[in-house]
Amino acid sequence: MSVTHDPYEEAKKQLRQTIDLLGLGDEVYEMLAVPERLIQVRLTIKMDDGSIKTFIGWRSQHNSALGPYKGGVRYHPETNVNEVIALSMWMTWKNALAGLPYGGGKGGIRVDPKKLSPSELERLSRAYFAAISDVVGVDQDIPAPDVYTNPQTMSWYFDEYSRIKRGQYFGVVTGKPVELGGLETRVISTGYGTAIAAREVAKKLFGGVEGRTVAVQGFGNAGYYAAKFLSEMGAIVVAVSDSKGGIFNSKGLKIDDVKKVKNETGSVINYTDIEKKITNEELLELDVDILVPAAIENVITEENADRIKAKAIVEAANGPTTPEAEAILTKKGIVVVPDILANAGGVIMSHIEWVNNRMGGWIREEEAKARLEEKMVNNFHAVWDYWQKKLDTSKYNMRAAAYAIAVDRVYRAMKLRGWI
């Protein structure tokens, strides 16, 4: 019988552990365990066939001690309120760890976007942003793309908000197309940042990433670019997967060719230059140097953690490893580069885009990419050094170090503001 996990309960467990590690009181835990504001909206739209359909959406604004709420919006048939709250909490830690002037927020709509036409998606997107327009803003809450949302979605958000507020508010969302104030680098940023994190941990564990084997679960934006850049860095990407299954080739996959097949046929499993097809579960248990879970949360659990063979796990997805699983991985000596560090490239680039919007254009793409890499490298080493120098590495892992840095920054901001 499979074990189900509530991401919000997992997020609270991680927070509790960090509060105890830092020696902070229960009152701090209680303040940080619940969002400052939670919005639920009913979205009723007319479908292309003339029928009326109702969807439910949420926006969780977790903490604003360090600045306006920041986090993406996902469209998924299994999205629920607890998932959205958990993701908003993780965004608080991610932004704090990255040293960004943001709090944490997250949004979601329970919908299967693959079953909607482009015009239906536009009506749904505009209805959602109109419904939350009073609680978002350039200095209030700045959404961005997430699962099954993209620059086109952000364009609809931006236009709807500008129509309602009667102005041009380019900084109200990030991850926009270049024509509307976005940066091309934003598209690659999450996967590129993950690849940099993988490269840095490979330097620590193996002396470098060149020639090291990698498996990537999930071949969406983050997974594809992580695989692409790791391959360009000299790693051997032996396996990738999407929702329909995975593929394996011990000599390495040609990532751009795999991407072309996925675009043309809908799945990586139709790529033919492989040794065998594998399941998503089998991919996680491959004997590789680096495993990159880049799909959804809670894929590495106490049920399969004992069978994980990778030497390092670099989390491109949010919350792919449960606390129970991580305890097992820590005992096995497997290094986990946590999501709030490994996949922060997207929000780091969003900050650069946001500042660029507010200043009327100030940065070139090459400079933006260089700033992203510099930030990711510095953040990685800050966490690694904290872990190695301030914690018992036989008892605590990199996530404990990352959370300690992040929660302490939020705590100090709340104390300075007189909230505590």
Q: For 160-163, which contacts have Cβ atoms below 8 Å and span 24 or more sequence positions?
A: 160/125, 160/126, 160/129, 160/130, 160/133, 161/129, 161/133, 161/136
**What's the DSSP call for residue 305?**
G
The tokens for 244 are 């329909």
Q: Which of 106, 176, 259, 369 is catalytic?
A: 106
Instruction: State the amino acid at position 312 in one-letter form.
Output: A
**What's the DSSP call for residue 73?**
E
Residue 94 to residue 319: CA distance in whole angstroms: 12
**What's the DSSP call for residue 395?**
T
Residue 294 to residue 327: CA distance in whole angstroms: 20
For residue 241, list its beta bridge partners. 217, 246
Cα–Cα nearest to 145, from 206, 74, 211, 208: 74
Element housing 54 (H / E) = strand 52-63
Q: Examine the residue annotation and report whether 70 is marked as an active-site residue of this protein.
A: no
Dihedral angle sign, alpha carbons of residues 353, 355, 356, 362: negative
CB atoms within 10 A of CB 365: 12
Number of residues that this document lists for the chain: 420
Instruction: State the amino acid at position 186 in one-letter form.
Output: R
Residue 165 to residue 183: CA distance in whole angstroms: 24
The tokens for 106 are 């997250």
Active site residues: 106
